[in-house]
Structure formats: structure tokens, C-alpha cells
Structure 1
Amino acid sequence: MDDSDGMTSLAEARVRGLAQRLALDTGWPRRLAADAEPPAHTHRIRLTDHDTIVAQRGDTGPAVLLVHALGLDWRMWAPVMDVLADGRRVYAYDVRGHGVAAGSPSPYTMADTARDLIGVLDAIGVQRAHVVGLSFGGGIAQTAAVAAPERFASLSLLATTDFPFDAFEGRASSGETEGMAAQVAPSLTRWFTADALAVNGDSVRYARERVLGGDSRDWAAAWRAFKGLDVQGKLAGLGLPTLVLAGAADVSTTPEIMRGIASRIPDARYRELPGTPHMQTLERPELVAEALAEFLA
């Protein structure tokens, strides 16, 4: 490779980095309407052993903290944050090993992710929050609720599990041995309906880019942490108002799995969203926003 090739590669890398920063600053998905709400305000915070970013919509009312799925980042909540921010302060952050927090120390445990969640609440000055977690985020939220229930006003569990799957280690190993390109197809077919994949809209492209651009070490560390999920039966005595929100078309954390979670939490509210796959906020954000807004009200 001659010097001009090297200069071109460096310039391309700088452009990619600038594009990523702009996407993070302006929010996702891109807002095109002239009367659209402004993007979420974001700021960095320091946790015990890494930095991350917190996005906020809304300035008054009860606090709501959103915890994202494995392989994505806080922006998977962008399609529902506007609705939830009506009368609430809504926050979303990048889980360790994801987004701005990519490359954070690993290996780590679910207990570490739970401490991170409480650390986010401390950093934003919130004593108690309504915590919403999807998939891996639901595992983090449950682990944190067991460890520090006094910090929770309620718990919403979306497309998640209260026990680890045998497949988690295989997904970790595949990322290490086959790379991130090999994770795109199996991930997206678990996450979206065939119709959404065929249309290939903004949500699908966002998810594809996040997986493809991820680091295999972060990917493997997250799946191995998820392998240590140990919350089943431990939420029953906490007395937290709980919503269990399933997608009728979810082939990963199926309605059967979600009904099992609800059955183990006294007085939990179970709701099933029609036509909704695993990545609820990315394919059917209007149904998720309506369900959460009703529960939080």
C-alpha cells in the first residue's frame, strides 16, 4: 500500500468517527419533520470503572430509567422516549461494553451491571425510578431490583427472561471465533419479523449497524455475564409494581417465557403486544409506548 492509500484510509476513518459522533449527538432515528421534538440531551457520566452516556427527555415529573438490549445502545429507546417524557423525566444510558461504554473492563457479572444501574441513578441525582429493561436490559433491571429494591418505584420487563438460556455461551463463542459479521443474520432474525427485515427500514439498519460495528470481546463478555443471571423467584417478595410486556411474535423470549416471569411475581401485570417481535421498541414502538405510558400512569 502506497502513502496515498494510507492517507485515504486515515481520512475515511476520521469521517466514520465524525459520522458516529454526529449520530450520537443528534439522536436516532433521524428526525426529519420540521415540527419534530428536539433530540434527547446527552451527557457523559463516570461509573466505578468506566465512562458512559446518559440521554434525557423531559425535565419534570417522576424519573424513568430505560435499559437497552445486548448489542445495541441507548438509542433503541429513542422511538418511545418522546411519548414517555410527557410529564416524566426519561433517561436511557449505554450499558457497559456498549455504545460509548464499549471497551469497558471485562469479564464482568450481572452484579456489576446492577451496580452500574444504581450508579447511573446516583449520577443523575435520582433516588427512586421506574426502571424499564428489554432483553439483557431486563436481566440487568431484575438483578438491580433484587440488590436494591428501595431504588425502584416500579419495574417493567420487556422481552426478557429470569433464567439464562443454554444458547448464551454459544453466542459468546461464535462472536469470538467467527466475528461480528456472522452474528448479524442470527441476531436480526431473532429480533425482527420477516416483514420488517424485508422492508429494511431505519430500525433494522440501526440494529444491523450496531451488531456489525460491535467488538467481539464486548459481545462475548455481555453474553457470558447474562449466563450468570440469577433472579428467578427472588422478585416475589419485593412488592414492586411490575409490568411484564411480551411480544406475540417474539421467537426468542416467547410469550410462554414471559407468562412464566409474570406468574412468579405476585400481582404482576402481564400484557401481550400483537404482531410484536423481540425488539419491541424498534418494530412496534407505538404499542410499547402506549403500554408503558398506561402502566406508569
Structure 2
Amino acid sequence: MELQDWDVTCRGLKLSGLTNTAIGDEVCLAFHGWLDNSASFVGLMEEGLNLFALDLAGHGRSDHRVGASYFILEWVLDAVHVMRELEARGAQRFHLIGHSLGAGIAALVAACAPDIQVDSLVLIEGLGPLSTAAEDAPDTLRRALSSQTKPPRKYPSVDPMVKAVQTTRPGISEADARRLVDRVVAGSDEYWFAHDEALKDTSLLRLTEYHVLAFLNQIKCPTLLIKAEDGLAFPEELSKPRILSIENLQIETLPGKHHVHLEDAEAVAALIRSFQSRVA
């Protein structure tokens, strides 16, 4: 399998990614999780899925935002601009895949992208974006205004970075961890993760649960939710209303942890392939 870098200029930023295919009438666009990058989808590509995996702004080889926050709606706006550019290059229909943070972004795009044909949506370990109760918003903003971005941690070599990735992403192999690290390493005598450290700052604002449900209610395309048995906890008081808000939702559960698409790319790819074949 031959991987290629691809990029697009979006709202003054250069956004990059990885792909194993050429742009056709249909494009499958993938959004990774927080502090991950497009390399998290290489395993699915090796299993035969043709993807355009994007490095979200602030991640991987994409530019960092300067003087702006990483509010989820900014990534949604980026995603729509990217889809517009792919349309200009020949795409007419889209299938969206998102993991964790990327699942929240993909869900909002599928709900609200204007005049863009979204034929299917796959959510891996994520059922919409994180939310905060309205009464907690002042405290959230207060903490965000008082937080300070720390400089990146420096490492003497790549190997301890690989170990750090495995520690924070239980269940993934050394090979998969090294893929993520190889895409984001910067430096010569010392090494650090190239993602923007501002990504770790407290969000200025989060959507309320009422907002999230309203967005999910607007998703009309067939949707597949892939959950991991030992992945993110889905409290019933939140997950049940979200599940009921998506009118055409299929739910599948696989053994594994939060990065189940890295742990068992074969099983996840099989689910996605079967799902997309039924909605084609």
C-alpha cells in the first residue's frame, strides 16, 4: 500500500493528511481524536478502506492556530472548507468517519454541512461532542482564562515518545504508537510532539447537552456507532437520549479499548465496509 501526503489551504492554515487513494466522485474523509493524527487511520487503509485522513488544525503536520482557541466549531468550519476544496477537485459525495473528538466533529458536519452530500457517517468511540451544563459555563470560562499553555516536553530520542503514546492510549501496539510518533516528531538533538500544546488548555466554552441533542437530531444519513467494550464510558442518562436523537443509527460493539480502530483494524474495517456497502 502506498501512502501519500495531501494538503489544503483552509482559512489561512495549511492542513495536511494521509491518503491511499485518488479523489473520485465519492470521498471517505476521516477525522482523528484529540492529540492523535491522520496516521491513526493507516491500519484501516491497510485493511482496504480508501480514505482521506486529515490532520486537524494543531495536530500532526497541520498548522497551529495563532491567536485563536480550539473550539470544536472551529474544526467543523475547517472540515466544511476542506470538503469544499475536495469538491473543487472532483468529489461529489462524502462518507465521514470520526474517532473520539473526530466523531464529534463528523457528527456536527453531517448534521449541518450546507449543500454537501454526506451519504454515511461512522462514529468510533464517540457519540457527538462533549457537553457542559449551562450553569457550569462561567466556571469553564474562568478556568480557561486563567490557564497557561506550557512548553512541550522534550525527549532525548523517539523511543520514550513511543512508550508515552502507549501509556496514554492503552491497548495499541508499539508499531501503531510509532506511526503516530513518526508523524509528529520535530527536532534534531532533542524531540517533542509537534501538536500545539494549547490543545491541552481548558476550552473556552462547550456546547450544552441540549445543543448536542439538537445537532444529533439533524443527522439524516445512515450512521454507524462502533463502541469498544472497555472504551469510553457512556452514562445511560446521556447516551440514551443521544442514541434516540439519531434516526438511522446502527450500533456495534467490539472487544478493545478507546483506540479500537488501532487495536483491531481488521474488525473495524469489516464493520465499516459492510455498513457502507448497504448504504451505497
Opposite residue 127 of structure 1, the aligned amino acid is Q
Find the residue that maps to 2:15 and give its secondary structure. Answer: strand
Contact 1:114 1:140 in 2 (8 A): yes
Q: Within 2, Cα distance between the matches of 1:179 and 1:254?
A: 32
Identity of aligned residues (%): 20
Aligned with residue 133 of structure 1, among 98, 101, 122: 98
- Indicate the residue corresponding to 1:156 in structure 2: 122
1:266 aligns with 2:247: yes
Find the residue that maps to 2:215 and give its secondary structure. Answer: coil
Contact 1:244 1:268 in 2 (8 A): yes
Opposite residue 221 of structure 2, the aligned amino acid is L
Aligned with residue 284 of structure 1, among 244, 247, 264: 264
Aligned with residue 203 of structure 1, among 168, 176, 192: 176
* Deviations 1:26-73, CA, capped at 9 Å, x for gaps: xxxxxxxxxxx22x2222210012001132223456321111111011
Equivalences for residues 18-57 of structure 1 within 5 A? 37-38=1-2, 40-57=3-20
Aligned with residue 58 of structure 1, among 21, 42, 64: 21
Contact 2:261 2:268 in 1 (8 A): yes
- Indicate the residue corresponding to 2:203 in structure 1: 224
Q: Within 1, Cα distance between the matches of 2:93 and 2:35?
A: 27
* Deviations 1:222-275, CA, capped at 9 Å, x for gaps: x6278447422422243211111101111x34485666543321230011012x
Pairwise CA RMSD of aligned residues? 3.5
TM-score (structure 2 length as normaliser):
0.73
Cα distance change of structure 1 residues 247 and 255 upon mapping to structure 2, 3 Å threshold: farther
- The alpha carbon displacement at 1:174 in A equals 8.7
- List gaps (5 residues or longer) in structure 1: 1-36
TM-score (structure 1 length as normaliser):
0.69
Find the residue that maps to 1:104 and give its secondary structure. Answer: coil
Aligned with residue 244 of structure 1, among 225, 232, 253: 225
Find the residue that maps to 2:200 and give its secondary structure. Answer: helix
Find the residue that maps to 1:124 and give its secondary structure. Answer: helix
- The alpha carbon displacement at 1:282 in A equals 1.5
Structure with greater helix percent: 1
Which has the higher relative contact order, 1 or 2, with Cα contacts under 8 A spaced 6 or more apart? 2
Q: Within 2, Cα distance between the matches of 1:127 and 1:172?
A: 42
